[in-house]
Structure 1
Amino acid sequence: MLQITPQMKILVAVEPADFRRGIDGLARLCKDALGQDPFAGTVFVFRNRRRTAIKVLVYDGQGFWLCHKRLSEGRFHWWPSAPDENSSARALAAHQLSVLFSAGNPDRAAAAPDWRSVGPRH
């Protein structure tokens, strides 16, 4: 079973992907377009051109998971743009990915910081 944890690196591709691609095609896209190793355990998220569906690709150490969600109605209104011309993906936190799965806006998802010092206070 695929489980998204706060420790996982999650990258959302800025540009739409051709959804005729399967695991091998998306893994190649991870290497060529995103400059990332698809075998590193990173969660990769892609959308189709019409913004009606997303695909998630992740390697779990034994093989690849490929998950596809198509909305019954509407579109994924939020999608990242490139922060600079050299960036083809944007990082998300696990709780933000859950919001995206529900077709929400991850930028509006407030949560506690990922890490807080637990040392003695002065």
Structure 2
Amino acid sequence: MITPAGNFTFYVASKPVDFRKGMDGLASLVMNEFDLDPFSGAIFIFRSKRSDRLKLLVWDGTGLVLIYKRIEGKGFEWPSISDGVITINKSQFEALFEGLDWKRVVPRHSRRPALA
């Protein structure tokens, strides 16, 4: 399991992309179609036409990193196909990466103590 340390923003491209694209092609897609900066340090998640593959693109400060995962079984849970990107949180990303239904992950809100 990949668990990114730090406070990343996660963007999911809801429309499938051509999986022959490498890191430069995906970075171009981020800039031209989503109007986002692929060198911002955010994690961009791309889906294939088949629901069993994903690619992650992230700038680590020294270069672009491309991660490819194929999952066995029924595949990943994806948002409905539409144009654009959606933002998810770290817990949702971890569920998505494991092949779980990330839409069922509800972020916890910690309560502040009334007295200190």
Q: TM-score range by the shorter chain?
A: 0.7 to 0.9
> Partner letter of residue 80 of structure 2?
S
Deviating runs (4+, > 4 A) in structure 1?
A: 116-121
TM-score, normalization: structure 1? 0.82
Moved more, 2-11 or 65-74: 2-11
> Partner letter of residue 7 of structure 1?
N
Aligned residues: 114
CA distance in 2, matches of 1:13, 1:49: 12
**5+ residue gaps in structure 1?**
none
> Partner letter of residue 57 of structure 1?
L
TM-score, normalization: structure 2? 0.86
Structure 1 residue 13 corresponds to structure 2 residue 13:
yes
2:62 corresponds to which residue? Answer: 62
Of 81, 84, 92, 2:88 maps to: 92
Note if contact 1:38-1:59 (Cα within 8 Å) is conserved in structure 2: yes
**5+ residue gaps in structure 2?**
none
- Cα RMSD between the aligned structures? 2.2
| Counterpart secondary structure, 1:12 | strand
Of 103, 106, 116, 1:107 maps to: 103
Note if contact 1:6-1:93 (Cα within 8 Å) is conserved in structure 2: no
| Counterpart secondary structure, 2:7 | coil
Note if contact 1:41-1:58 (Cα within 8 Å) is conserved in structure 2: yes
CA distance in 2, matches of 1:107, 1:74: 16
